[in-house]
Chains A and B, each alone.
Chain A
Amino acid sequence: MQITVTVNGIPCTREVEPRLLLIHFLRDELGLTGSHWGCDTSNCGACVVWLDDTPVKSCTVLAAMADGRRVLTVEGLGRAGRLDPVQEGFAACHGLQCGFCTPGMMMTARWLLDHHPDPSAEQIRAALSGQICRCTGYENIVRSVLWASRHEAGQHGAGQHEAGQHEAAAPRAAGPGAGETRGALP
């Protein structure tokens, strides 16, 4: 079936199997590998992206369900080449170690700050409690989100992420199989 999903502001039309998961659509079809797959059962949250204005676990959303809708991934965080304060906070406060859960954590944190600009540590813990980090013991993730809440310039918010902000956010143009990413390997 053919679907069109607006990913990080760019409309992407692809022919997909009806059973294709959104996480595999993003990673394998569009080459946006920042979102990760970690559990299949909606427990770990490594795959969290926004569907329209809401964080979802993209391992349990079909790509077909995103047809005609907007998806925001970690590659689309930030604007005009500038990092989102959440991204800056994670780097400033050692909120990541292996980096695997980080994109999903940041997507949920961005949503939290859009709706609760000045959250308490307890609110942050509650917001992130559907996601798993195996490295940090969560302490520095909470501090990272607090840091971001104190460094917001008011320019961020749901729906304000513009199309094609910077190159890194753009899905790759061609479908899979062309092997065009080989040159990027170490």
Chain B
Amino acid sequence: MTGAAEDLRGTACGGSAHGGSAHGGSAHGGSAYGSLPRKEDARFIRGKGTFVDDIQLPGMLHGAILRSPLAHARIVSVDTTAAQAHPQVEAVITGQMLAERGLAWMPTLSRDVQAVLATDKVRFQGQEVAFVVARDRYSARDALELISVEYEPLPPVIDAERALDPGAPVIRDDLPGKADNHIFDWEAGDQQATDAVFAVADVVVAQDMLYPRVHPAPLETCGAVADLDPVTGKLTLWSTSQAPHAHRTMYALIAGLPEHKIRVISPDIGGGFGNKVPLYPGYLCAIAGTMLTGRPVKWVEDRSENLMSTSFARDYHMHGEIAATADGRILGLRATVLADHGAFNATAQPSKFPAGFFHIFTGSYDLQAAHCQVTAVYTTKAPGGVAYACSFRITEAVYLVERMVDLLARELGMDPAELRMKNLLRPEQFPYTGPTGWEYDSGDYPRALRLAMEMAGYDELRREQARLRERGEYIGIGLSFFTEGVGAGPRGQMDILGLGMADGADLRVYPTGKAVLGISVQTQGQGHETTFAQIVAQELGISPEDVEVVHGDTDRTPFGLGTYGSRSTPVSGAATAMVARRVRERARIVAAAMLEVAPADLEWAGRRWQVRGDPDQARSMAEIAMAAHSALELPDGVEGHLDASMVYNPPNLTFPFGAYICVVGVDPGTGEVTVRRFIAVDDCGVRINPMIVEGQVHGGLADGVGMALMQAIVYDENGNCLGGSFMDYLLPTSAECPSWELGTTVTPSPHHPLGAKGVGESATVGSPAAVVNAVLDAISPFGVRHADMPLTPANVWSAIQGRPQRTDLAVT
């Protein structure tokens, strides 16, 4: 473990110093860690990746889904006669057909059920109604037009704030006795203690704020190829899954298939961000299609289907209150949340808390008491809630507290950086147990904030802001400080349908000293084939080139729950380190036999086992591996070979953190926002491949700019989804993103075997608040106190005019 803390500005891939072999091309200082170029790039730059839609099987058929045009309607009849008569159509599957086999509904990860194909009603626009299987892609689409569905329209429920009104249409009348749209009430923290600190506070600030519904929109949509072998009964499913093992178990539970006869393969995945964690009806339709036709069936959704029907994220309607002393000591925090979960409670989050990790909402601050209360409702919108690099609602939590701290700074007339510095947890408080029960493992928050301010030139920025304002130009400086909780997770706090969140690792070392690692987590671009090879190489003293990483195939890898919630390095990275250490210990026994000494007489010298005090007496891993497979006489109880397996059960989450500063310019005449600079200091503990870590941060920062300024899935008064294409659901491009300025501090996790923490979601979680705080700082001279995301030109302009708009509905 790298024990010493360090401050770094940028790293090997910083700025224009991208010359030569850019990232160095080799690990530094004899360590296998470092900014190695990625092993997986060789195939992608040649167009030789294998994504689900690249799979072609002999005799393969193509599926397409008929979707509801209405947000809420009773199904009177479904007539598939004409579609079945289409010459290229092999099968048409309806909800009724699935119901006869008990497959019309599937369980969600939040203990609700979701329709696979609708039988009684449709409950959101885009809901799955029927599935056509045809001989080619285009004919399958053609045949959808030939299905006649008679609907009896029902009033939609589009406004979460009206969902619990008396007399509101009941969406889930499929649930026995359900007479309203209520899903759950949940609270955390100490209400009495919080009331007490609010009662003595000098200052209390309150604000309503919306975290709008957004969609992660990975560039590859969801899809599957299902192939049931009629002879062996084995189902092979290539699918866009971030959690192939969990999916396999769920298919077994849902469809009644024997689990050892199911093989789930996640080939190359074109981005996930949480969108590819849930099971979707399309996957099950493809399975039903192959069962019915006896031929392989491919189903790949189009972009509109992806945006309108698969897991969205956020949609949190929040009320925050913060209490402080007159000199800026924060005392307490309250939050009341109305959560819009859509038509089915299908939030794909593994925690035992209905609102995920939202109750980490006290963030990075040393306050005395906190209390939050969350109520969730059904609406006639697509189901989901956590599918966008959000660490199971920590995004919403960080946004709330970081907006409240900025509002408090304004109320107190304090600089927001000074207020944060005054209230950040101090290094000596770690491990720190917060007022809602989370135990943060390690941190040095002031150091990260100081570094970010120094990189930004914070004081000079403030002076520049003042100078420009005198000329009628408006720039804004926004800060956010976040604490993440990632690496799900401890069994006391989370599981998936009863499955504990441990992950396995298998490590085989061949006689010539080359190694193959099997892992359960699933890269969607995170570079696991490189990072995990580096971990093994570091522990065994071999080259990363000599380690092959196998993943994404349930027949070839150990069980584990997959990649989401930034859990790969915290959980599987730990499993990998531990299994490699187990192999190293076996190698020690073999080396001792080779050198004819006792194992206790050997010491590990980084690349070999050597006799203490006699470095000439040593054996490398390759030498040991060959001996372990040879006729060498081994001590009793040692079987030979070096292979090992390991399951890692995380004792706690890891808690990465960071300090972000965003600088924007706002044109008050048009409301247009330009992101001028973005400074991001991230601390995710020990970095195995800094280049990959920085890439993860870059992507998350773009997400933050997108969510803050342009991304929202909006519905109209009839329940029509207005974000159903990239024409309407805007994503940031190279033109809207600045050149990111990154800084690093390293505070190792004390409980992770490598001292590493997760980082995949840090920037997505931390950055939106910095952008919003910057915009609102820029337009504060116009008396604007708050405006909701996305801060589009229209919304910013309206806020400047004193008419902030509701950004989740387009209702006339």
Give A residues with C-beta under 8 Å from B. Answer: 17, 19-20, 24, 27-28, 31-41, 43-44, 46, 73-75, 83, 87-88, 90-94, 96-103, 106, 121, 124-126, 128-143, 146-147, 150, 168, 176, 178-179, 181-182, 185-186
Which residues of chain B have C-beta atoms less than 8 A from A179's C-beta? 56-60
22 A-B residue pairs with CB within 8 Å = A20-B138, A33-B51, A43-B727, A96-B44, A96-B45, A97-B271, A97-B527, A98-B219, A100-B218, A100-B270, A128-B733, A129-B734, A131-B733, A132-B726, A132-B733, A133-B219, A136-B695, A137-B697, A139-B740, A141-B734, A179-B60, A182-B58
Q: Is B113 an interface residue (CB 8 A)?
A: no
Which of B13, B267, B700, B725 is within 8 Å of A143, CB to CB? B13
Which residues of chain A have C-beta atoms less than 8 A from B526's C-beta? 97
Which of B22, B43, B218, B733 is within 8 Å of A98, CB to CB? B218
Pair B46/A140 contact, Cβ less than 8 Å: no
Q: How far, in angstroms, from A132 to B550 measured CA to CA in the complex?
A: 29
Pair B37/A92 contact, Cβ less than 8 Å: yes
Pair B726/A102 contact, Cβ less than 8 Å: no
Pair B219/A87 contact, Cβ less than 8 Å: no
* Residue of B whose beta carbon sits closest to that of A178: B58
- Size band of the B side of the interface? 35 or more
Q: Is B553 an interface residue (CB 8 A)?
A: yes
Which of B527, B691, B731 is within 8 Å of A134, CB to CB? B731
Pair B60/A128 contact, Cβ less than 8 Å: no
Q: How far, in angstroms, from A97 to B219 measured CA to CA in the complex?
A: 12
Q: Per-position contact with A for B548-583: 1 when CB-CB < 8 Å, else 0?
A: 000001000000000000000000000000000000
Q: How far, in angstroms, from A102 to B220 measured CA to CA in the complex?
A: 12
Q: How far, in angstroms, from A70 to B540 measured CA to CA in the complex?
A: 51
- Closest CB in chain B relative to A122 CB, distance in Å: 9
Please name the 3 residue pairs, one residue from A and one from B, whose CB atoms are nearest each other, closest first. A34-B47, A179-B58, A98-B525
Q: Which B699-736 residues sit within 8 Å CB-CB of chain A?
A: 699-702, 725-727, 731, 733-735
- Closest CB in chain A relative to B313 CB, distance in Å: 14
Which residues of chain B have C-beta atoms less than 8 A from A136's C-beta? 695, 698-699, 702
* Residue of B whose beta carbon sits closest to that of A92: B22
Which residues of chain B have C-beta atoms less than 8 A from A126's C-beta? 734-735
Dominant SS among interface residues on chain B: loop
Q: Is B21 an interface residue (CB 8 A)?
A: yes
* Residue of B whose beta carbon sits closest to that of A131: B733
- Given contacts A75-B46, A133-B219, A186-B267, A91 and B41 within 8 Å (CB-CB): yes
Q: Which B13-42 residues sit within 8 Å CB-CB of chain A?
A: 13, 16, 18-19, 21-23, 37-38, 40-42
Which residues of chain B have C-beta atoms less than 8 A from A141's C-beta? 734
Which residues of chain A have C-beta atoms less than 8 A from B302's C-beta? 40
Q: Is B737 an interface residue (CB 8 A)?
A: yes
Q: Per-position contact with A for B348-372: 1 when CB-CB < 8 Å, else 0?
A: 0000000000000000000000000
Which residues of chain B have C-beta atoms less than 8 A from A143's C-beta? 13, 16, 18, 22
* Residue of A whose beta carbon sits closest to that of B272: A98
Q: Per-position contact with A for B610-651: 1 when CB-CB < 8 Å, else 0?
A: 000000000000000000000000000000000000000000
- Given contacts A126-B735, A135-B695, A102 and B56 within 8 Å (CB-CB): no
- Closest CB in chain B relative to A138 CB, distance in Å: 4
* Residue of A whose beta carbon sits closest to that of B300: A37
Q: Per-position contact with A for B67-88: 1 when CB-CB < 8 Å, else 0?
A: 0000000000000000000000
- Closest CB in chain A relative to B53 CB, distance in Å: 7
Pair A40/B303 contact, Cβ less than 8 Å: yes
Pair A135/B699 contact, Cβ less than 8 Å: yes
Q: Which of A20, A34, A73, A176 has the most CB of B within 10 A?
A: A34
Q: How far, in angstroms, from A17 to B88 measured CA to CA in the complex?
A: 14
* Residue of A whose beta carbon sits closest to that of B14: A143
- Closest CB in chain A relative to B77 CB, distance in Å: 30
Q: How far, in angstroms, from A128 to B53 measured CA to CA in the complex?
A: 25
- Given contacts A92-B22, A94-B692, A96-B44, A134 and B56 within 8 Å (CB-CB): no
Q: Which B510-530 residues sit within 8 Å CB-CB of chain A?
A: 524-527
Which residues of chain B have C-beta atoms less than 8 A from A33's C-beta? 47, 50-51, 53-54
Which of B16, B57, B270, B694 is within 8 Å of A36, CB to CB? B270
* Residue of A whose beta carbon sits closest to that of B696: A97
- Closest CB in chain B relative to A173 CB, distance in Å: 14
Pair A186/B50 contact, Cβ less than 8 Å: yes
- Closest CB in chain A relative to B24 CB, distance in Å: 10
* Residue of A whose beta carbon sits closest to that of B738: A139
Which of B303, B698, B731 is within 8 Å of A140, CB to CB? B698
- Closest CB in chain A relative to B740 CB, distance in Å: 5
Pair B734/A75 contact, Cβ less than 8 Å: no
